Amino acid sequence: MSVPAVWTASDTQLERLARRRRKARRRTLVSGVSTAVVIAVLVTVVLTSPGWDRVQETYFDWGQAQASLPAILRGFGVTVQVFLVAEALILVVALVVAIVRVLPFPGLAPLKLLAVVYTDVSRGTPTLLVVYLVGFGLPALELQGIPGDPFWLAVIALTFSYGGYVSEVFRAGITSVHPSQWAGGRSLGLSYGQTLRLIVVPQGIRRVLPPLVNDFASLQKDTALIAVLGVAEAFQRAQVEQLREFNYTPLVVAAIGYIVLTVPFARLTDHLALRLARRDQGLT
Amino acid sequence: MTLLAAEGVRKHFGEHQVLTGVDLSIEAGQVVCLIGASGSGKSTLLRCLNLLETLDDGTLWFDGRDISDPRVDADEVRRDIGMVFQAYNLFPHLSVLDNITLAPRRLRGLSRTAAHEYAYEQLTRFGLADKARAHPDSLSGGQQQRVALVQAMAMSPRVLLLDEVTSALDPELVGEVLDAVRMLADEGLTVVMATHEMTFARDVADRVVYLHEGSVLEEGPAASVLGNPSHERTRSFLSRFLRG
């Protein structure tokens, strides 16, 4: 049985195709028109509001935006640095905490308790409070080896706050790996640790990549909280610029900057989720 | 020579007594098929033989050594006892090649080149040479089980335990996996196989062991257990297969 390379579609098929095309055209039209209407209404409401002129002046001043941009961009340089360092540390801390909580060895009980307490505390405390407590509390202890640099205090605070969240994501991934994978590894003679490291953890992490990336998009934004420590990151710079002329435009500039930084994470999350979904259906 | 033996092996899960005293001895080079209804303890017995379960009672002997002794390093014993499960024991995040070479490289100290060479040689033998770089998910069930056989054999085990390796397969794929098992058996490998494939058991097994409610009810040469069973229960169990 061979399929002919070229065939002429039957009349039924031609009619089906025509109908599908008509349907698709109608859908595009409906979605296009409805989107345009919604946007037009929103824009009209905002632009015709009684206070629009003043809002435009204080929030959307082109001159202010241009003037504040260089300082805010420098701030974003620091934001990205804090983010990258904190992210690396968070991954390590979270994976260690997750694995400690997963391991079945009774000798680890004290460590497990510590891990549980840490997860509860870090997830239960607002990040802003953690930033204050770490940023001003740690140096106040005057212990040796505690960094005095706000940059590192900020990194410690963010790592503490996010490590708990991310460790729970890792733990969910690790425990979701089917027991048959353990049996597969152990039956080959791999030890518990080898099976965990080479077989279970890699699969667990792969599975939770979308929520993991999502948490990092969130961390990206929360770096703004460290402005209270005086770290010259984007939000802090924007505040300084804002106070110079008592105009809020620099804050809008910073907001746009954060969005620009976060959008790639959002697309990456979508992409990873789609890829995983495809793989689960065996479509790769 | 007895390679692997169980003596009075008992195992329960919760309230359920799965193995109620299994005595079994497997000679080197023999192919032994474990038959019995679902829930008769075939899988549990195999898992016990591979030390994946701890015994409630009884003793396991492997090559004259008591491997049920808690002081024994189970990881080390398992290197010499290969096992293939009903399904899903390949590692989905690794390529076929890495699935096969992972354990021998880590545990037998095989070099990358030597491990790859071995893997390609075996894949070729089992008709899977073009699948080396593929991931298990993209293979058919029959191909996956053949890769699992190569994976288990890569550790050069002295005995291979097979736990219903064809039960999850579409009927047309069963044959290719059984052929692969037969090939290994023909080379003199010791095989213990839980199976519902009675024709295969009749043709390939040296001995057939009928498990009933967690213990060995009848065992002997394949021809006599399958052809002329002495127990009424064995007969009624087999008749269900012959009718089907």
C-alpha dihedral (B24, B25, B28, B29), degrees to nearest 10: -40
What is the rounded distance in angstroms from the CA atom of residue A21 to the CA atom of residue A17? 6
User: Are A194 and B79 an interchain contact pair (Cβ–Cβ within 8 Å)?
Assistant: no
Place of tokens 């919760």: B14
User: Are B88 and A279 an interchain contact pair (Cβ–Cβ within 8 Å)?
Assistant: no
Residues B233, B217: contact at Cβ < 8 Å? yes
Task: Give the tens place of pLDDT for each residue, A136-150.
Answer: 888 888 887 777 788
Residue A10 is classified by DSSP as P
As to burial, measured by CB atoms within 10 angstroms (0-12 exposed, 13-18 middle, 19+ buried), residue B92 is: middle
Q: How far is CA B90 from the centre of its chain?
A: 15
- For residue A169, give the CATH number of its domain: 1.10.3720.10
Residue B31 has pLDDT above 60, yes or no: yes
Q: Is residue A275 part of a domain?
A: no
Task: Give the tens place of pLDDT for each residue, B88-139.
Answer: 689 999 999 999 999 999 999 999 999 999 999 999 999 999 999 999 988 9
What is the rounded distance in angstroms from the CA atom of residue A206 to the CA atom of residue B91? 13
User: Are B91 and A279 an interchain contact pair (Cβ–Cβ within 8 Å)?
Assistant: no
Higher pLDDT, B33 or A9: B33
Domain with A141 in it: 77-232
Mean pLDDT rounded to a whole number for chain A? 89
User: Are B79 and A202 an interchain contact pair (Cβ–Cβ within 8 Å)?
Assistant: no
Kindly give the residue spans of alpha helices, DSSP state H, lying in B72-205.
Answer: 74-79, 96-107, 112-125, 141-153, 171-186, 198-204
* Tokens found for residue A100: 């400690």
- Interface with chain B: mutation pick from A188, A196, A275, A279, highest number of B CBs within 10 Å: A188
Q: What CATH superfamily classification does B2-89+159-243 receive? A: P-loop containing nucleotide triphosphate hydrolases (3.40.50.300)
User: Are A189 and B107 an interchain contact pair (Cβ–Cβ within 8 Å)?
Assistant: yes
Residue of A nearest to B102 (CA): A198
Give me the number of domains chain A comprises.
Answer: 1
Q: How far is CA B26 from the centre of its chain?
A: 13
Out of A184, A203, A282, whose CB is closest to B89?
A184
Task: Give the tens place of pLDDT for each residue, A145-190.
Answer: 777 788 999 999 999 999 999 999 999 999 999 999 999 999 999 9
CA distance A190 to chain B (A): 6
User: Are B138 and A284 an interchain contact pair (Cβ–Cβ within 8 Å)?
Assistant: yes
> If interface means Cβ-Cβ distance under 8 Å, which residues of chain A face chain B?
178, 180-181, 183-191, 194, 198-199, 202-203, 206, 279, 282, 284
Stretch 132-161 of chain B: residues touching chain A, C-beta under 8 Å = 135, 137-138, 151-152, 155
Residues A212, A34: contact at Cβ < 8 Å? no
Residue of B nearest to A202 (CA): B93
Q: Which of B6, B22, B33, B23 is nearest to B192 (CA)?
A: B33
Confidence of residue B244 (pLDDT cuts 50, 70, 90): very low
Q: Is residue A162 part of a domain?
A: yes
Out of A180, A194, A203, whose CB is closest to B89?
A180
The set of residues, in sequence order, having a beta carbon less than 8 Å from that of B233 and lying 6+ positions away, is B210, B212, B217
What is the model's pLDDT at position A284?
45
Q: Give the residue-averaged pLDDT of A59-87.
A: 90
The set of residues, in sequence order, having a beta carbon less than 8 Å from that of B58 and lying 6+ positions away, is B6, B7, B8, B9, B10, B21, B22, B68
Residues A233, A223: contact at Cβ < 8 Å? yes
CA distance B76 to chain A (A): 6
CA angle B131, A195, A109 (to 5 degrees): 160
CA distance A200 to chain B (A): 9
| Chain B residue numbers touching A206 (CB-CB < 8 A) | 93
Burial A239-249 (b: 16+ CB within 10 A, else e): bbbbeeeebbb
ipTM of model over 0.85 = yes
What is the rounded distance in angstroms from the CA atom of residue A185 to the CA atom of residue A198? 9
Q: Is residue A93 part of a domain?
A: yes
SS3 (DSSP) at B161: strand
* C-alpha pair distances (Å), A230 with each of A126, A154, A240, A258, B242: 19, 10, 11, 18, 82
Out of B75, B85, B151, whose CB is closest to A183?
B85
Q: Is residue A72 part of a domain?
A: no
Task: Give the tens place of pLDDT for each residue, B178-196.
Answer: 999 999 999 999 999 999 9
Percent of chain B with pLDDT over 70: 98
| Chain B residue numbers touching A282 (CB-CB < 8 A) | 137-138
Q: Residue A274 is which amino acid?
A: L
Out of A180, A186, A194, whose CB is closest to B106?
A194
Domain ranges of chain B: 2-89+159-243
Task: Give the tens place of pLDDT for each residue, B39-55.
Answer: 899 999 999 999 999 99
Q: Is residue A37 part of a domain?
A: no
